[in-house]
Every structure is written in C-alpha cells, then in structure tokens.
Amino acid sequence: MSDHSLDTIYIRDLLLRCVLGVNPEERGQRQDVVVNITLRANLGEACASDRIEDTIDYKTLKKRVMAMVEGSAYFLVERLAQRIAEVCLDDPRVMSVDVVVDKPGALRFARSVAVGVSRGRGGHA
C-alpha cells in the first residue's frame, strides 16, 4: 500500500509538560512542550462503518502520549520526538507517523525550537 492510499489523522498543538534539556536549570523543573502528530493509516473501513472499533482511537492514543511525555526526563528534544513516534506505532493500524516537538523559549530571540521525526513500518516513512 502506498502512502497515497493512506488517510491522515492530525493531533495538533498538544500542550504538555516534562523535564527536557541538557542544562542544570532545565533539569530541575518541568517545561512546556507543544506536540503535533500526523498519523497515516488506511481508514477506509472506519469511513464505511462509522464505528470507533474500525479506526485509531485518537483519544486513547493522546492519553498514552501524555502519560509517556509527562513522566519523561530526556536531555534531547530528538529523543522525546522518537519516543512519541514509538508510542504511536504501537497501534498496528498506524503505518507511519510524523512527530514535531516544539520547545518554546529554548533559544533567545526565537519563539520556539522544534524537532520533527518521521517513522513508519513496512516501507512507510
């Protein structure tokens, strides 16, 4: 199945808090991060059936991502983005995922620094 036959679910601007950073002042307190997730899957069955059982339950997925992020303490935004992608790919219906993690205020004079990763299974990226 090519990416052209896959449908998309977006989880936008999920505001979470976690320990993230390499500097000692960053390690002592939780900071805001903004997470954007793009899931790709074949949603044709759900489109036809109108049943939650036939699709990705994005409310459950959001809760799993929130629990992982809010309990985490990573040094790098890259690692956090990777772990979020792994949580998303735990659902076998997710063929690929793009994750962007913004760390507001990470750089002086910049609104945010963001890292994006794309991960997939079976040739999907």
Active-site residue set = 103
Report in angstroms the alpha-carbon separations of 27 from 30, 70, 89. 8, 14, 28
Give the ranges where 1-125 is alpha helix by DSSP (H). 24-27, 44-49, 58-70, 77-89
Number of neighbours of residue 80 by Cβ within 10 angstroms: 25
Q: Is 88 helix (H, G, I), strand (E, B) or coil?
A: helix
**Sheet order of strands, 31-41 included:** 73-74, 7-20, 31-41, 96-104, 112-120
